Amino acid sequence: MKEVLKKHICIALSVIMILMPIRANALEHSGDSLFFYALEAWNLSTTPGAISLTTPASISPRMGIIVNFDANGGQLLGGHDQRTTATGDIVSGTVGMGNMPISPTNPGFMFAQWNTMQNGNGEIFTGDTVVYAVDSPLTVYAQWGAELSFGGNGVTLFTGTDPNNATHFMPRIVPVNRSVAETAGVAWPNNPVRPGYTFVGWYDTLALNGGTRFTEDSVISINTVVHARWQLNPAVTVTFDPSSGTISPGHTGTRLVRQGLSIRTSWNSPHYLNRNVQWEWSAPQAQPRLLMHVGFRGFP
């Protein structure tokens, strides 16, 4: 409702400005650009510097819509506490991503985002956020967060560069006392994969048991590292049927294989008595109660 009201007010202001009897020299052309001016005083003459009815100033160009940046307990570099939209923005505009201030610092915290409310319950502010003249000057506030990092615990995770991509396991910056689910622009990662194991969750310990489990709804208050917890898949029996052949002495016709692993990865296959033939792999992934019927192929 607030945004709709803003737009209606801005449209009304635009109509008023168009209908106002503005003097010819209140608009200035420069190439293909048209610059708008804000009225500062009425003069008795069109000549700059003439006697003014109110102040000695004449007409000066509008410098854009002002946005103030509040570090909210942190510290900003000098000159980074205010930005304006482009010159000539009379109704709305954007600061621009390349014109945003350098992120502030706050010992013990990570900068999370800019927000239109000090408590973080407003709207996220970026260089692409549309700013309306009726709100000028607008103040946005730094939001401080904690870093949530992910460890593979036996598997290498793809770090990536996008915290909003569920396939990237780079650290997430979450506003203090909030969850990933409550943080815009941050996604909870997908479950990782480890051959021969089943993923059972993210925990704040490397131990096989105990610790605190973390999900996208967990509230993050301090910098936290969570580790993948794995459960070893049960073994299944693979039976080798030599058909008309025989198994080499000392080798049984069965092997135990972890679910999710190939036979070659889990254990070696039994040796056939004739050295001129080998097992023909016909089942790349073991399944429970698998009976493998082995074919043969010869070598010169």
pLDDT tens, residue by residue, 75-118 = 999 999 999 998 777 789 999 999 999 999 998 888 989 999 99
Highest mean pLDDT among 233-247, 249-263, 285-299: 233-247
DSSP summary character for residue 105: B
For the stretch 189-198, pLDDT in tens is 999 999 889 9
Tell whether the model's pLDDT for residue 204 goes beyond 80: yes
Tell whether the model's pLDDT for residue 188 goes beyond 90: yes
Q: What's the rounded Cα separation, in Å, for the pair 32 and 167?
A: 46
> At 58, is the pLDDT very low, low, confident or very high (cuts 50, 70, 90)?
very low
What is the reported pTM?
A: 0.55
Tell whether the model's pLDDT for residue 287 goes beyond 60: no
Domain coordinates in residue numbering, the chain: 2-61, 66-144, 146-232, 235-298
**pLDDT of 10:** 54
Q: What's the rounded Cα separation, in Å, for the pair 281 and 53?
A: 98
Structure tokens at 162: 């996008």
Read off the pLDDT of each residue in 233-239 and give the average, rounded to a whole number: 79
- Tell me which CATH homologous superfamily contains domain 146-232: Listeria-Bacteroides repeat domain (2.60.40.4270)
- Pairing status of strand 235-241 against strand 82-84: unpaired
**pLDDT of 249:** 72
Compute the Cα dihedral for 263, 264, 266, 270 and give only its sign.
Answer: positive
Read off the pLDDT of each residue in 50-71 and give the average, rounded to a whole number: 66
**pLDDT of 50:** 54
Cβ–Cβ < 8 Å for 176, 144: yes
Per DSSP, the chain holds a count of helices (H) and strands (E) of 2, 20
Instruction: Please name the residues in contact with 175: beta carbons below 8 A apart, sequence gap of 6 or more.
Output: 112, 113, 120, 143, 144, 145, 182, 183
Report the percent of the chain where pLDDT is more than 70. 63
Closest CA to 224 of 284, 148, 287, 145: 148
**pLDDT of 229:** 97
Structure tokens at 229: 């917890």
> At 23, is the pLDDT very low, low, confident or very high (cuts 50, 70, 90)?
very low
DSSP summary character for residue 247: B
Q: What are phi and psi of 47, to 5 degrees?
A: -75, 125
Tell whether the model's pLDDT for residue 152 goes beyond 70: yes
Average pLDDT, the chain: 75
**pLDDT of 135:** 87
More confident residue, 185 or 252: 185
> At 228, is the pLDDT very low, low, confident or very high (cuts 50, 70, 90)?
very high
Tell whether the model's pLDDT for residue 39 goes beyond 70: no
Closest CA to 120 of 97, 137, 145: 145
Helix (H) or strand (E) holding 12: helix 2-19
Q: What's the rounded Cα separation, in Å, for the pair 9 and 2?
A: 11
Phi/psi region, residue 152 (left: phi>0; alpha: psi -120 to 50; beta: rest), is: alpha
Tell whether the model's pLDDT for residue 26 goes beyond 50: no
Alpha-carbon Rg of the chain, whole angstroms? 34
